[in-house]
Amino acid sequence: MDIDVLVTRLASQGAKRIYIQAPEGLKTRVQEIASRIEAQGIEVLLGCDPTYGACDLRDKEAKALGCDLLLHIGHTDFGVRPVLPVLYEPYAIPIDLVPLLERHLPGLEGYRTLSLLTTIQFADALEPAARFLERQGKRILFAKQARNQREGLLLGCDWTAALPLEKEVDAYLYLGSGRFHPLGLALKTEKPVLALDVEQGTLTDLGKERDRLLRIKTYHRGIAKDATTFGILLTMKEGQGFVRQAFHLKTALQAMGKQAWILVMDEISPAKIAGMKLDVLVNCACPRMDEDFSLFKKPILNPADVYQLQREAAAADAHVMVEESAAAPRA
């Protein structure tokens, strides 16, 4: 990130006081960034709450603190309508992925057609990586991410840069760091998802991890069939607050004879519901929460799981009605 360019952009906005949001990985630089901005006569407030994405804007807090602009670092526009202007600084990380790809070419044997995917930090490295793989005889395909029309850009809750190509590719190749983004895709497709970790230098087929999570999910649905008390997790974050869906899920659970409560909080954590008697949680916020069952020590379902339970319950009821009808004495 070129701080001088950033300061120029801020000055062009006429900002007098700004609020800065940055993800945990960039907290080491945020003081330097703030000092450079303040040197231009702009007042700066540093947001210290976790920042999970552009679905998690702190625009209302910024406005309440008298700011006239929110500087959101690390992500691109998610489509949330803010209450004050937002300047998005994606924070691109320059990296040459070719040496790492060259080292792991044997792991890509058997996959001729690949879809390359990454996050915004490494988006500029996709094209050189694609050209290298094409020289190795690979066919590389890209689809555009729906929210910002960037090719190959994967979000933890949006797989539109990948799933339209499912029938055409042999595998998906994620180039980036961490497992959250590619594992989310792996749970949505039967095609192989390979993760090339730029920090660890490893190439991993996520098939085993996907199968493990699917088995756990099936087990949790089994527990939920006999469970009686459900907590529906709803966040106040603008880009994650699915209020209408939460009420729809509550109605669906009650129709199955369950007790359900909608639990509202900003930062969702086990401590905030520790005193409540709940058998199962339903995630109506960020998809990342689905994998936090070990943290909450309870099964966590997503909306699709609840609707699957509803269909199974309806099918079971229909089967019972057929059996009762067949057993009824005939006149």
Q: Could you report the per-residue pLDDT of 205-248, keeping only the tens digit for each?
A: 999 999 999 999 999 999 999 999 999 999 988 888 789 999 99
pLDDT at residue 5, rounded to an integer: 83
HEC per residue, 21-87: ECCHHHHHHHHHHHHHHHCCCCEEEECCCCCCCCCCCCHHHHHHCCCCEEEEECCCCCCCCCCCCEE
Which pLDDT does position 125 carry in this prediction?
Answer: 93
First-to-last alpha carbon distance for the chain, in angstroms, is 83
243-301 pLDDT per residue, tens: 999 999 999 999 999 999 999 998 899 999 998 999 999 999 887 777 788 889 999 99
Instruction: Render pLDDT for 84-100 as a digit per residue (tens, 0 to 9).
Output: 999 998 888 889 999 99
Sign of CA dihedral 241, 242, 247, 251: negative
- Other C-beta atoms within 10 Å of 128: how many? 14
Looking up tokens 């994405």 gives 53
CATH superfamily of 98-205: Diphthamide synthesis DPH1/DPH2 domain 2 (3.40.50.11850)
Domain boundaries, the chain: 3-89, 98-205, 211-314
User: Per-residue confidence at 322, pLDDT binned at 50, 70, 90?
Assistant: low
CATH topology of domain 3-89: Rossmann fold (3.40.50)
Q: Where are the beta strands (DSSP E) in 214-255?
A: 229-235
Q: Is the pLDDT of residue 319 over 70?
A: no
Phi, psi of 31 (to 5 degrees): -70, -40
- At 37-60, the pLDDT tens digits run 999 889 999 999 888 888 889 999
Q: Which of 264, 271, 238 is nearest to 250 (CA)?
A: 264
Residue 330: what pLDDT? 59
What band does 61 get if pLDDT is binned at 50, 70 and 90? very high
The pLDDT value given to residue 68: 92
3-89 and 98-205 have identical folds: yes
**pLDDT tens string 128-164:** 999 999 999 999 999 988 777 788 988 877 888 899 9
Residue 260 · residue 247 · CB < 8 Å: no
CATH class held by domain 211-314: alpha beta
pLDDT tens digit sequence for 6-33: 888 888 888 899 999 998 878 888 899 9
Say what the pLDDT of residue 82 is.
93
Reported as a pLDDT band with limits 50, 70 and 90, residue 74 is confident
